[in-house]
Amino acid sequence: MNKWNDFENTVADFYLSGETGDINTVFNEIVIGLKEDRDVFVPIYSPEDIAAEDEMEGYDDFDDSDITMRMLVYDDEDSYWYSAFTSEEEVEKAGYPLYIPITLRLLLDHALDDDICRGIKINNWGEGISLDRKSIELINAYEPTSRICLLQGDITKMHTDAIVNAANNTLLGGGGVDGAIHRAAGPGLLEECRTLKGCETGDAKLTFGYELNSKYVIHTVGPVYTGSAEDEMLLESCYIKCMSIAKKESVHSIAFPAISTGAYGFPVDRSARIAFRTVANWLKQNRDYLMHVYMCLYSEKDLRIYKDVFDNIMTEYAGSDFEKGLLSYKREKYPEAFDYFNTALKGGDMQSLAFLGDMYLMGKGVVQDTERAHICYEEAAAYGDPYAMIKLGDIYMERNDPDSKLRAGRYYIHAYETAKSKRDPLSYPEIGLRIIRYFRNRFDDETLRVICNDIIDCLRKRDADYHGEKSGDIYSETAYIRKKLSQK
Query: Which residues is 153 bridged to in the sheet?
Result: none
Please, is 76 exposed, middle or buried when counting C-beta atoms within 10 Å of its C-beta (0-12, 13-18, 19+)? Answer: exposed
Query: CATH fold of 321-486, please?
Result: 1.25.40
Rounded to two decimals, the pTM is: 0.68
Domains 147-317 and 321-486 share a fold: no
Give per-residue pLDDT as tens, 393-447: 889 888 888 888 888 888 888 887 776 655 556 667 777 778 777 777 777 888 8
Binned at pLDDT 50, 70 and 90, residue 57 comes out as: very low
Q: Is the pLDDT of residue 335 over 80?
A: yes
Average pLDDT of the residues in 333-348: 89
Q: What's the rounded Cα separation, in Å, for the pair 80 and 58?
A: 7
The edge-to-edge listing of strands for the beta sheet with 117-122 is 59-61, 68-73, 80-84, 117-122, 129-132
Q: What per-residue confidence (pLDDT) applies to 235?
A: 98
Q: What per-residue confidence (pLDDT) applies to 31?
A: 93
Average pLDDT of the residues in 45-65: 54
Q: What per-residue confidence (pLDDT) applies to 463?
A: 58
Give per-residue pLDDT as tens, 227-252: 999 999 999 999 999 999 999 999 99
Give per-residue pLDDT as tens, 121-171: 999 877 788 888 877 887 877 788 898 999 999 999 999 999 999 999 999
| Cα angle 368-376-471, degrees, rounded to a multiple of 5 | 80
Average pLDDT of the residues in 4-25: 89
Mean pLDDT across the chain: 85
| Cα angle 73-78-83, degrees, rounded to a multiple of 5 | 30
Please spell the DSSP secondary structure of 36-97, one letter per residue: TT-EEEEEB--HHHHHTGGG-SSEEEGGGSS-EEEEEE-TT-SSEEEEEBSSHHHHHHTT-S
User: Domain 147-317 in CATH: superfamily?
Assistant: Leucine Aminopeptidase, subunit E, domain 1 (3.40.220.10)
Ranges of each domain in the chain:
5-140, 147-317, 321-486
Average pLDDT of the residues in 33-59: 73
Question: Whole-angstrom distance between the N-terminal and C-terminal Cα of the chain?
Answer: 51
Q: What per-residue confidence (pLDDT) applies to 127?
A: 75
Binned at pLDDT 50, 70 and 90, residue 5 comes out as: very high
